[in-house]
Structure 1
Amino acid sequence: MRVVIAEDNVLLSSGLELLLASRGFEVAAIAEDGPGFLAAVAEHRPDITIVDVRLPPSFRDEGIHAALQARRDNPGLPVLVLSQYVEQQYAGELISDGRGGVGYLLKDRVSRVSEFVDALRRVAAGGTVMDPEVIAQLLTRNAHDPIAALTPREREVLALMAEGTDNATIASRLVISENAVHKHIGNIFAKLGLSPADSGHRRVLAVLTYLSRQ
């Protein structure tokens, strides 16, 4: 699995390269800024990318802008963003297209090697991985718990959705029809206040709501 990294800190980028190589990944390129990252993605067509939010020259949000541009240029490109702090606006924008293959982790998660590598593989496979702190800040917590309004069966369906399971697999696991799964998911969206205008984004938001309360 080929990886392109955008990270200007030499110690961190070198550490990532060694870590990934030991776990069977191939680091195709390491870029130190946004333009270099976009050029590396165009050249190497990686299976996944790792991007620091803050890159030269201003060290503000060049990295996340580069990640979003790479996703526009290469729809579905898996991107795992690393950040020292939660950038709520950009974290939300990153997942808003509903296509999956995205992750947003705080940098201290890298030290938890098994968790980090697992997150990387899940993002590469098209999943969505969000740091618990990111989830906590992205979601507006209401006075009541919307999960409490779900029926036991709807909670089972939502739990399987959180595992990245598709509708057919959910139906098989729960021994119900796919039409029943579709109906349960519609009820979940309605009870969580997720309108049809959110499109495919609703599934991600429903899962984030579930995970934030576990």
Structure 2
Amino acid sequence: MRVVIAEDLLLLREGLIRLLTELGCTVVSAVDGPEALLDALDRERPDVAVVDIRLPPTYRDEGLRAAIEARRRRPGTPILLLSQYIERTYLRELLADSHEGVGYLLKDRVSDVRQFITDLRVVASGGTVLDPQVVTAALDRLATTDPLAGLTPRERAVLGLMARGLSNSAIGVELDITERAVSKYINRIFAKHDLPPDDNVHRRVLTVLRYLDDVSSPSG
């Protein structure tokens, strides 16, 4: 797996290079700013990019903006964003892209090496990954937040695992139910969200977006 890294902190950048190399990845470029990131993505066409949301010069959202621009230039470019904290205002913007291959993890997540490389591979293969803490924060609000208050506890659990990027089979293993049962729960969730089958709309992403709406609001 060929990887581009964008991280301004030298120690963390070097640590990521070493970690990914030891895990069998090839780090084709490691940069410290948004313009250098875009250049590297255009030049290297990696399997996935690991990008810090806050890059120079303002350390606000340059990494996110560069990621969005990269996916505008080449739709579907797999990008895993890292953040020190839960940046609620970024969640919807990250997932609003109709193309898959996106991830949002807290930097603490990198310390769980096995899970980190699993998440990276999910994003590289076109999946969507959200940090479990972000998912938990969203689920904690479901009980009092419309329009999702109508979901059953099992449907909320399935939705949370969907947001983490798990496939139907993986959700089944996590909840100890059959894949067929998972499909039924997901179809019920779609029905409650008034999302009929549509080849031009990614219903899983739309569903996750709806339940993250409240969490990603400034007042949340």
Which residue, 155, 170, 174 being the options, matches 2:180?
Answer: 174
**Unpaired stretches in structure 1, ≥5 consecutive residues:** 167-171, 176-180, 210-214
- Deviations 1:154-183 (CA, angstroms, capped at 9, x unpaired): 8998799663249xxxxx9539xxxxx6x8
Q: In the superposition, relative to structure 1, how do residues 202 and 31 fare at CA in structure 2: closer, same or farther (>3 Å)?
A: same
**Residue in 1 that maps onto 2:53:** 53
1:143 aligns with 2:144: yes
| Structure 1 residue 94, shift from structure 2 partner | 0.9
Q: How many residues align?
A: 193
Cα gap change, 1:160 to 1:174, in 2 (>3 Å) = farther
The alignment yields a C-alpha RMSD, in angstroms, of 3.2
Q: Cα distance, 1:185 vs. partner? A: 4.8
SS of equivalent to 1:28: strand
Q: Distance in 1 between matches of 2:75 and 2:54?
A: 22
Q: Which stretch shifts more, 61-70 or 136-145?
A: 136-145
Q: Which is further off, 138-147 or 7-16?
A: 138-147
| Alignment partners' CA distance in 2, 1:146 and 1:201 | 22
* 1:66 corresponding residue in structure 2: 66
2:167 is matched with 164
Q: Does 1:42 align with 2:42?
A: yes
Cross-structure match for 2:190 = 189
Question: Closer, same or farther in 2 for the Cα pair 1:119/1:185, shift >3 Å?
Answer: closer
Go from structure 1 to structure 2 and tell me whether the alpha carbon gap of 1:96 and 1:173 turns closer, same or farther (over 3 Å shift): same
Q: Which residue of 2 aligns with 1:169?
A: none
| TM-score, normalised via structure 2 length | 0.75
Check the 8 A contact 2:50/2:81 in 1, yes or no. yes
User: Relative to structure 1, is the Cα distance of residues 56 and 207 closer, same or farther in structure 2, using a 3 angstrom cutoff?
Assistant: closer
Which residue does the alignment assign to 2:89? 89
Provide the residue aligned with 1:80 in structure 2: 80
User: TM-score by structure 1 length?
Assistant: 0.77
The 1:159–1:129 alpha-carbon spacing in structure 2 relative to 1, beyond 3 Å, is: closer
* Amino acid corresponding to residue 8 of structure 2 in structure 1: D
Q: C-alpha distance in 2, partners of 1:89/1:155? A: 22
Aligned to 1:77, the other structure's residue is in SS state coil
Mark the CA change 1:157 to 1:54 in structure 2 (over 3 Å): closer, same or farther.
closer
Question: CA separation in 1, counterparts of 2:106 and 2:150?
Answer: 27
Q: Deviations along 1:135-169, whole A, 9 cap, x unmatched? A: 2445652438543187xxx8998799663249xxx
Report deviation, 1:207.
5.7
Amino acid of the structure 1 residue aligned with 2:167: G
Query: Which ranges in structure 2 are unaligned for 5 or more consecutive residues?
Result: 170-177, 212-220
Relative to structure 1, is the Cα distance of residues 90 and 157 closer, same or farther in structure 2, using a 3 angstrom cutoff? closer
| CA distance in structure 2 between the partners assigned to 1:155 and 1:87 by the alignment | 22
**How many angstroms apart in 1 are the aligned matches of 2:160 and 2:9?**
38
The one-letter amino acid paired with 1:147 is L
